[in-house]
Amino acid sequence: MVKTLALFAVTALAEIIGCWLPWLWLRKGGSVWLLLPAAAALALFAWLLTLHPTASGRTYAAYGGVYVAVALAWLWLVDGVRPTRWDVAGVSLCLAGMAVIMLAPRQG
């Protein structure tokens, strides 16, 4: 489970970076060259999702919970905005949902 969580976290980071770099370009006057590493990060994100051993739909559903947690960590570490207790409550619910999806007993 730790390996899966770590893989989800790296996947989320790749997606966030892939979306944040164009945001820097469009909203903060960054260089258009930011689109190249953004595209690479999004390609990495897509590839990382293929490394999970479970069905793709289940992987995407469970990944969503971890994405929310990583996005709130990004909010704090990069944007400098401390998450509220409501943010923490919401991410806790998301991670609980991810755990239910990933840890549920499976047949065959």
3-state DSSP of the chain: CHHHHHHHHHHHHHHHHHHHHHHHHHHHCCCHHHHHHHHHHHHHHHHHHCCCCCCHHHHHHHHHHHHHHHHHHHHHHCCCCCCCHHHHHHHHHHHHHHHHHHHCCCCC
Domains: count for the chain? 1
pLDDT at residue number 11: 94
* pTM of this structure: 0.86
pLDDT at residue number 108: 64
Residue by residue, pLDDT tens for the chain (108 residues) are 788 889 999 999 999 999 999 999 999 999 999 999 999 999 999 999 899 877 888 888 888 999 999 999 999 999 999 999 999 999 999 999 989 988 888 886
Domain that holds residue 19: 2-103
SS3 81: coil
pLDDT at residue number 4: 84
CA atoms within 13 A on the CB side of 76: 11
Asked if residue 108 is part of any domain, the answer here is: no
Asked if residue 34 is part of any domain, the answer here is: yes
Asked if residue 82 is part of any domain, the answer here is: yes
